[in-house]
Amino acid sequence: MLILSRKPGESIIIDGRITVKILRVEGDVIKVGIEAPTNIPVHRQEVYEEIQKNNQEAMTQTAAGLPHLTAKSAPSKLRTARTQNAPPYVHQP
């Protein structure tokens, strides 16, 4: 773990793409601003952990709520009309 000391208004850069800036210090609370590309998600730790928990639960749940398709679909009207009017199959050697 890298440990840095920063004052309000100072920043750190991560991977040349993410800027973490100390905005202000109010007692024991530090206001931090984070600038990152939109394709990089940024979450508070407790939110990230909740997302991970929900994703894990979704992967382990069974698909019991989904209907099973057991009946065959009815032939289309076009296909039925063609086969009814078709000449009988004749095998020629």
pLDDT tens-place values along the chain, 93 residues long: 999 999 999 999 999 999 999 999 999 999 999 999 999 999 999 999 999 999 888 887 755 566 667 666 555 555 555 555 555 555 555
Q: What is the pLDDT of residue 57?
A: 86
Residue 23 maps to a domain: yes
Look up the domain containing 33 and give its range: 11-59
Residue 85: per-residue pLDDT: 57
Answer whether residue 2 is part of any domain: no
Residue 25 within any structural domain of the chain: yes
Give the pLDDT score at 25: 95
Per the structure block, which two tokens stand in for 41? Answer: 């998600």
- β partners of residue 18: 14
- Asked if residue 7 lies in contact with residue 21, where contact means CB atoms within 8 angstroms, the answer is no
Residue 68 lies in a domain: no
Total domains present in the chain:
1
Smallest CA-to-CA distance from 32 within 17, 52, 12, 50 is with 12
Q: Report if residue 54 sits inside a domain.
A: yes
- What is the reported pLDDT for 54? 92
Query: Is the residue at 74 inside a domain?
Result: no
State how far Cα 92 lies from the chain centre.
Answer: 58
